[in-house]
Amino acid sequence: MHHLSEQEQLRRQKLTQLQELGVEPYPSELFDVNFSAQEILDNYRPELNNFQEVSLAGRLMSSRVMGKASFAELMDSSGRIQLYINRDEICPGEDKTLYNTVFKKLLDLGDFIGVKGHVFTTQVGEISVHVTELKLLAKSLRPLPVVKTKKDEVTGEEVVYDSFSDPEQRYRQRYVDLVVNPHVRETFIKRTQLVQAMRNYLNDKGYLEVETPILQPLYGGAAARPFKTHHNTLDMTLYLRIANELYLKRLIVGGFDGVYEFSKDFRNEGMSRFHNPEFTQMELYVAYKDYAWMMDLVEEMVERVALQLHGKTEVQVGDNLINFQRPWQRYTMFEAIEKYTGVAIGEMDEAALRETATKLHVELDPSMGKAKIIDEIFGEHVEPKLIQPTFITDYPVEMSPLAKKHRDRPGLVERFEAICNGKEICNAFSELNDPIDQRQRFEDQLELGKRGDTEAMVLDDDFLRALEYGMPPTAGLGIGIDRLSMIMTNSPSIQEVLFFPQMRPEAL
């Protein structure tokens, strides 16, 4: 139990006084709400005399007591509205306790109240609720941080101080952040709209939304370190999924033409402004299609998301105005590296690549094979420069153990990533459906694992068995929902688009 501040002790005393007066601080009966603050502010017309019986509930956010009458402010999920409270109207009989004691002395900012009354306009023209009934719905025992504004005497501008703006505090106490920084809600509403726009787009195409296991006996479908857990009854190690790819492909083997899943995935890796140990991906697999077809789908879907969220294809992200209008720029990986470094690496072996990387000041370690070296060069010199949405295609085979070999270019695979604002937002393949080739690539990954690559893939015999029954040619896609949300909401870090990001333990 933390040490109670003076304010918290006071609030607990008020709680006791309320109970002594017979006022239940946490009543259980329903309080019926029929309008939101914003509905009233948007639609009230004095000449229509509408909103004559309103019932609202929310937090008490300010209070100005002026003898027998008071003004207060109520905040619900839609916004704030002014209340006008008159002693003799909320206490029509002899007993004025509700106004004189409960409202004036025992209610605090942050308390939840319910009010009934009618809407009118004050003399200064502010739409307000004339309260005829007032009820305490939940007592708040901790004071909210008070954000104050004050006019700068030199510039005359409003200056905010005591704001609840420390990122660590905001992420730890998101419940407070949402109350005192209402703009934060907009980010999360937009995130939900983004997911809904994608879901509607995929459903309209006739693809089936499915669910696959989060606890897996083997982790697969990506190059990453997993989280490990133990199942007591089966006495076996299980892993939290790093991707859902291999299960969704099993469903294509089983005869579905198009399946997708919004999945929580988990990777036991470093944390940063772009990485949280649990994150959301949407993966989609469609039979009888290839990666070129999937590129067109991604452009169309993301353009539609931008239009639904912003009403236009342009989105401001930091200092950049990003335009999602189709078609997007396309380069092969080798073209992009040559464009931004001046070096053609297409024909190089591992030794030559190491030498090139060193010249380009890219740090390497001995466990890195050809693919990792190319990836490091790309990550250092190309990716940060790709601000407008860009497709990078045709990756080296070693970088993509689950992608199909390129139909025209030996040593490459049919894969693309979409890069935007200097970060990858999606990854897609013409899926590898040759079980013999797939087994060989898993075995190559095992060798990398022996060299010390902690992210190398494991061999999944059941998945190979599924492929041996035959999987039609298939296009597959994974889109990072958190990364896309960051771009679509102009958020500088992944923690801004996760309600409850992972944090170090707090010393309470």
Instruction: Give the Cα-Cα-Cα angle 417, 455, 225 (nearest 5 degrees).
Output: 105
Cross-sheet strand order for the sheet of 215-216: 215-216, 236-240, 228-231
Indicate if 424 and 463 belong to the same structural domain.
yes
> Which tens digits make up the pLDDT trace of 400-458?
878 899 999 998 999 999 999 999 999 999 999 999 999 998 898 888 888 887 777 78
pLDDT of 24 over the 90 cut: yes
Short-list 276, 265, 403, 263, CA closest to 333: 403
Short-list 324, 229, 240, CA closest to 278: 240
Q: What is the mean pLDDT of the segment spanning 223-238?
A: 95
| CATH code for the domain of 34 | 2.40.50.140
Indicate whether 487 belongs to any domain. Answer: yes
Indicate if 428 and 463 belong to the same structural domain.
yes
Instruction: Say if CB 413 and CB 395 are below 8 A apart.
Output: yes
Output the pLDDT for position 457.
79
Q: Where are the beta strands (DSSP E) in 253-297?
A: 258-266, 278-287
Indicate if 172 and 229 belong to the same structural domain.
no
**Segment among 138-142, 329-333, 415-419, 436-440 with least mean pLDDT:** 436-440
Q: Is 417 a known ligand-binding residue? A: yes
How many CA atoms within 13 Å lie on the side-chain side of 349?
Answer: 1
Per DSSP bridges, beta strands 474-480 and 423-430 are: antiparallel
Indicate whether 341 belongs to any domain. Answer: no
Say how far apart CA 39 and CA 45 lie, in whole Å: 12
Indicate whether 160 belongs to any domain. Answer: yes
Indicate if 134 and 162 belong to the same structural domain.
no
**Segment among 260-264, 273-277, 328-332 with least mean pLDDT:** 273-277
pLDDT of 159 over the 70 cut: no
Indicate if 213 and 124 belong to the same structural domain.
no
Cis peptide, bond prior to residue 389, ω within 30 of zero? no
Say how far apart CA 447 and CA 369 lie, in whole Å: 11
Indicate whether 506 belongs to any domain. Answer: no
- Per the structure, the count of domains in the chain is 3
Cross-strand partners of 283: 261, 478
pLDDT of 161 over the 70 cut: no
> Which tens digits make up the pLDDT trace of 473-498?
999 999 999 999 999 999 999 999 99
Indicate whether 307 belongs to any domain. Answer: yes
Output the pLDDT for position 1.
64
Q: State the chain's mean pLDDT as an integer.
A: 93
Indicate if 123 and 160 belong to the same structural domain.
no
Indicate if 305 and 412 belong to the same structural domain.
yes
Output the pLDDT for position 113.
98
Indicate if 41 and 176 belong to the same structural domain.
no
If one compares 94 and 151, the residue with the highest pLDDT of the two is 94
| CATH code for the domain of 282 | 3.30.930.10
Residue 148 pLDDT level (bands cut at 50, 70, 90): low
Indicate whether 194 belongs to any domain. Answer: yes
Indicate if 102 and 188 belong to the same structural domain.
no
Indicate whether 503 belongs to any domain. Answer: no
Indicate whether 63 belongs to any domain. Answer: yes
**Segment among 51-60, 100-109, 180-189, 216-225 with least mean pLDDT:** 216-225
Q: What is the mean pLDDT of the segment spanning 296-311?
A: 98
Indicate if 254 and 298 belong to the same structural domain.
yes
Q: Is 47 a known ligand-binding residue? A: no
Indicate if 193 and 102 belong to the same structural domain.
no
Q: What is the mean pLDDT of the segment spanning 72-80?
A: 96
Indicate if 59 and 12 belong to the same structural domain.
yes
> Which tens digits make up the pLDDT trace of 366-390?
888 888 899 999 999 999 999 999 9
**Structural domain that includes position 286:** 183-328+388-497
Output the pLDDT for position 401.
79
Q: Could you tell me the sign of the dihedral formed by the alpha carbons of 182, 184, 188, 194, in that order?
A: positive
